[in-house]
Chains A and B, each alone.
Chain A
């Protein structure tokens, strides 16, 4: 099974660090600098794990997830938030069932990559059924 990860972050330095760590785990990584770019990738058929920054100037993470839900782009995509906030905004409660995990910055890149790998092993619908 191909481990496809979409990294959505408007900080190129963060995106590069995450990309490097994920490549060590043999993930196929795509980058998007904001929610608009992420939605384009998703509309083109991306299915995998989405690592989503919360605060982005052009369409933030929560608004992007709202649109993913509206357009049924959530189906088949595991969503993990990547953020500097210690806790999510209460107004985002309505989206909580679509978010599997919440990782706060700063993070250890290798630990993050291992977590992503474990999600592919445990939860992705494309994983082999035993």
Chain B
């Protein structure tokens, strides 16, 4: 059985700018990606559309019940937490804030389960606060590769710093090197 690849990306203030740079350097990869970006709801659709224009991946706004597809970035809409059922199905539920936000990166990352033939990657990008730190440490504990943005290229070095403080980050990298690393570790479409 061929391995599946699942990438969870968490991002907050400054994220739209960083995500545009990151995804500009990402071709269509054989991986499913889930993006949790803290943002007001009216930005959901424009952000999805603008990222779709710069990357080889198919970027779409997630709905409850969506199956995570290879080559697709599923953007989680504002106001609902995302849990990933059986590492494959997006479940959007609950609106109570966690870490002051909804959706919270921690909720999504902690919903992943260890599974044979599933390669996991977690990424924490720019942002204020601690959201994602516990989640990415959990992902590391079940075998994920973990990446965090470096201080120099973070608009706000809060979330990546808290992630780094857990000691569970494999690579602390500038934005362009995060893209390079994803391209290096994930399989491509031929």
Q: Which residues of A contact B (CB under 8 A)?
A: 74-76, 78, 87-88, 90, 92-94, 96-102, 115, 118-119, 121-125, 127, 129-130
- B158 on the interface (CB 8 Å rule)? yes
Q: Is there an interface contact between B128 and A78, defined as CB atoms closer than 8 Å?
A: no
Q: How far is the CA of A93 from the CA of B97 in the complex (A)?
A: 12
Contact B43 A123 (CB under 8 A): yes
Nearest-Cβ distance from residue B28 to partner chain A, whole angstroms? 19
Report, nearest first, the 5 A-B pairs whose CB atoms are least far apart. Answer: A122-B50, A97-B38, A96-B128, A93-B129, A94-B100
Cβ of B144: which chain A residues have Cβ within 8 Å of it? none
Contact A87 B156 (CB under 8 A): yes
Residues B101 and A123 in contact, CB atoms below 8 Å apart: no
Query: A97 contacts B49, CB within 8 Å?
Result: no
Task: With both chains docked as a complex, state the minimum distance between the C-beta of A34 and any C-beta of chain B, in angstroms.
Answer: 22
Flag if A101 contacts B40 (CB, 8 Å): no
> Bound complex: CA of A97 vs CA of B50, how far in Å?
19
Q: Is the CB of B46 within 8 A of A125?
A: yes
**Interface pair B13/A129, CB less than 8 Å apart:** no
* CB proximity of B170 to chain A, nearest CB, Å: 25
* Contact A97–B78 (Cβ < 8 Å): yes
Distance to closest chain A CB from B97 (angstroms): 8
CB-based contact A93/B39 at 8 Å: no
Partner of A96, one of B13, B46, B78: B13
Kindly provide the distance from the CB of B17 to the nearest chain A CB, expressed in whole angstroms: 6
Cβ contact within 8 Å between B38 and A102: no
Query: How far apart sit A100 and B47, CA to CA, in the bound complex (Å)?
Result: 11
Q: Is the CB of B39 within 8 A of A88?
A: no
Task: Give the chain A neighbours of B17 by CB distance below 8 A.
Answer: 101, 115, 118
